[in-house]
Structure 1
Amino acid sequence: MRTVDFHCDALSKMWEDPKASFVDDRHLDVTLQRMEEGDLALQVFAVFLSEKYGRPSFERVLAQIDTYRNRIVKPGHLKPLLWQEQVQEMRESYHSRFGVLSLEGVDGLEGNLHYVKLCYDLGVRFMGITWNYANWAADGALEQRNGGFTERGRQLVELCNSTGIILDVSHLSQAGFWELTELTQRPILASHSNAYSVCKHPRNLSDEQIRALIALDGMIGITFVPWFIRSDADRVKPEDILPHIEKICELGGEKHMMFGSDFDGIDQWVAGLEHPGKYPDFQELLLKHYPESMVKGWMSDYALRFLEQNLPLAPSKEK
């Protein structure tokens, strides 16, 4: 059963270590070898700028995009996903594997909206507005004042809507989330967030937020971050993810779910779900509790439907 994973941080780790091999490096959770073991059709790679390297800058955004283009998507590795027409190839080919770029926080764009179009031209298709704290566009989920968007941030939303970049609310403040639901003209997604009513972590989504994402025909990527799954994060097992799936189904989101592991962004893992090669075992667990058609939907079908509806058309196909 093919799988789509909507969030990992392997790219930033590879940028930090120029010698890291995407093929099989033991210091990476996500590798080509493990994508093959887990039969991943698509992996979303986040551009994440850690503050331990100083103030986020567009230079570092470009450096990570360069890492992606030269070390991840190249002949013999992954194909870059850019256009909705490519989704059909993913459905039909059992050997093609794709990567796609996201931006985890717009801090590195330095408030310059011209950089948004440049990112799009370089392959970025998803954009998280914030990481956990405030930036020039909006407040993050852990920012105590819980502010919404700045004027420049509202312009960013408008530009992403017109350009074709899909906005990601994982890490966005509550106030920012609700403001975005009013501002956006297109579906949005939460690439790696779980249900707050199951595990009360501020990065998880409330029932009301989940309903709002569903109403916008958006998607929710169930994540494997242990402390987003259970408050007692020391003994998390794959079965502990099921209550989050149940909650989202209960709220009407059965066809709005996918997975966003956050592999390579964590240093503590769900036991038995430590890297993409473990996805087949997780599928077996899901099949014990849910019909095959439903599990297939969560593993890939619903995410692919979303991409087919919301990725931009290739330039030659535009009317």
Structure 2
Amino acid sequence: MATQAKIPVFDGHNDVLSRLWRSPGGAAERRFLDGVDTGHIDLDKAAAGGLAGGLCAVYVASPGLAKDGSGEFATPDQQSALEATLGMTSLLMRIERQSEGRLKICRSAADIRAAMDKGAFASVLHIEGIEAVGADLDVLYVLHAAGLRTLGPVWSRPNLFAYGVPFRFPSSPDIGPGLSEAGKDLVRACNELKIMLDLSHMNEQGFWDIAALSQAPLVASHSNVHALCPHSRNLTDRQLDAIRDTGGLAGINFGVLFLRADGTRNTDTPLSLLVDHIDYIVERIGIDHVALGSDFDGTAIPAAMRSAADLPLLVDLLRTRGYDDAALAKICHGNWIRVLETTWGG
């Protein structure tokens, strides 16, 4: 029997940069490039699983991972966030320099297509929680010049720009206020610079504030279906409808907290739950509005998905649910490239 061609995956969210940057042992670049790393993603694992690229997140952890008196995660100050952001951004640049063409930082959809055609890992610089930027937005313009093409205004904590949705289960995402005036300025600047806005850690009011203000497709890079898992981080039906109406997408998060109906951090979770969330979105808003946003290296995922090398297991499950090659191409990479091209222009 003929072997089916591997479907390339362009993934909407991973935390490999923050994991490499924080982990001890030095030589983070070589650990990623030489396939000796213990995380979900390195170049060897990516090649084995057909992971052709994705949005590589800069994420600055809360100080000491501490929570404040309200139970919310503490917010890093701008100076420490800027230092960490520059550290992770420069790490990605060093990986590209040392990769001998095996990884490319992509600034356009054409760059992504070219990298995928050459078999290079198509990396897009993303920031998750923009605490490094002040109200004057000066740093935003510098980061854009360095290659920043997508950002989430918040992680799940409040900052200068908005109120990030806390991790709560069971809970609606309707928690707290929306965009500040600085946040509205940030949205306008991102539209001007054609930086994609990621809504995954926005609370519901912030989501609707961006929907009213932004001229770009609405995108939640790594969020799931609230009707199937009532976690505050997941998308309501009304939010999914708005994503469809703007030509945007939702990237399915592999994190078990956002997949399971019981909301527990139990990695003994079948991969079929991932497909259930994909099926729901396809049935509600259409095949053009769902993609993958694994959260590799950032959260607890089903044990069967040991690393990016196991992505073909998910593709095979999708085939058993009736998705043909054209549909798989949309879910695995085509929808992401289309939305990024629409947002970035060209």
Choose which of 289, 292, 303 in structure 1 pairs with 2:336. 303
Q: Which residue of 1 aligns with 2:3?
A: none
Is the contact made by 2:175 and 2:204 (CA closer than 8 Å) also made in structure 1? Answer: no
Choose which of 145, 148, 155 in structure 2 pairs with 1:121. 145
- What SS does the corresponding residue of 2:251 show, helix, strand or coil? strand
Q: Please give the per-residue CA displacement for 1:29-71, whole angstroms capped at 9, x wherever unaligned.
A: 1101111111222121100001236534212211110111112
- What SS does the corresponding residue of 1:79 show, helix, strand or coil? strand
Is the contact made by 2:226 and 2:237 (CA closer than 8 Å) also made in structure 1? Answer: yes
Q: In structure 2, what is the Cα distance between the partners aligned to 1:117 and 1:253?
A: 35
Is the contact made by 2:199 and 2:219 (CA closer than 8 Å) also made in structure 1? Answer: yes
Q: How many residues align?
A: 311
Choose which of 115, 121, 132 in structure 2 pairs with 1:97. 121
Q: In structure 1, what is the Cα distance between the partners aligned to 2:115 and 2:96?
A: 17
Is the contact made by 1:257 and 1:302 (CA closer than 8 Å) also made in structure 2? Answer: yes
Structure 2: which amino acid aligns with 1:131?
W
Q: Which residue of 2 aligns with 1:62?
A: 86
Choose which of 162, 166, 176 in structure 2 pairs with 1:142. 166
Q: In structure 2, what is the Cα distance between the partners aligned to 1:112 and 1:58?
A: 14
- What SS does the corresponding residue of 1:108 show, helix, strand or coil? coil
- TM-score normalised by length of structure 2: 0.85
Structure 1: which amino acid aligns with 2:8?
R
Q: Which residue of 2 aligns with 1:282?
A: 314
Q: Which residue of 2 aligns with 1:316?
A: none
Choose which of 174, 180, 183 in structure 1 pairs with 2:213. 183
Q: In structure 1, what is the Cα distance between the partners aligned to 2:121 and 2:276?
A: 30
Q: In structure 1, what is the Cα distance between the partners aligned to 2:345 and 2:176?
A: 32
Choose which of 46, 51, 62 in structure 2 pairs with 1:40. 51
Is the contact made by 1:227 and 1:233 (CA closer than 8 Å) also made in structure 2? Answer: yes
Q: Which residue of 2 aligns with 1:50?
A: 61
Q: Which residue of 2 aligns with 1:10?
A: 16
Q: Please give the per-residue CA displacement for 1:179-217, whole angstroms capped at 9, x wherever unaligned.
A: 110010111311100000000110000000011011111
Structure 1: which amino acid aligns with 2:311?
Y
Q: In structure 2, what is the Cα distance between the partners aligned to 1:192 and 1:271?
A: 19
Identity of aligned residues (%): 28
The CA deviation at 1:311 is: 2.3
Choose which of 30, 39, 52 in structure 2 pairs with 1:28. 39
Is the contact made by 1:30 and 1:263 (CA closer than 8 Å) also made in structure 2? Answer: yes
Is the contact made by 1:22 and 1:72 (CA closer than 8 Å) also made in structure 2? Answer: no
Q: Which residue of 2 aligns with 1:84?
A: 109
- Once the two structures are overlaid, the 10-residue window that deviates more, 223-232 or 142-151, is 142-151
**Matched ranges for 1:198-237 at <5 A:** 198-230=228-260, 231=262, 232-234=264-266, 235-237=268-270
Is the contact made by 1:170 and 1:203 (CA closer than 8 Å) also made in structure 2? Answer: yes
RMSD: 1.8
- What SS does the corresponding residue of 1:45 show, helix, strand or coil? strand
Q: In structure 2, what is the Cα distance between the partners aligned to 1:247 and 1:285?
A: 15
- TM-score normalised by length of structure 1: 0.92
The CA deviation at 1:310 is: 2.3
Structure 2: which amino acid aligns with 1:167?
L
- What SS does the corresponding residue of 1:107 show, helix, strand or coil? coil
The CA deviation at 1:16 is: 1.5
Structure 2: give runs of 5+ residues left out of the alignment. 1-6, 65-75, 168-173
Q: Which residue of 1 aligns with 2:304?
A: 272
1:19 and 2:24 matched: no
The CA deviation at 1:278 is: 0.7
Is the contact made by 1:84 and 1:309 (CA closer than 8 Å) also made in structure 2? Answer: no
Structure 1: give runs of 5+ residues left out of the alignment. 314-319
Structure 2: which amino acid aligns with 1:252?
I
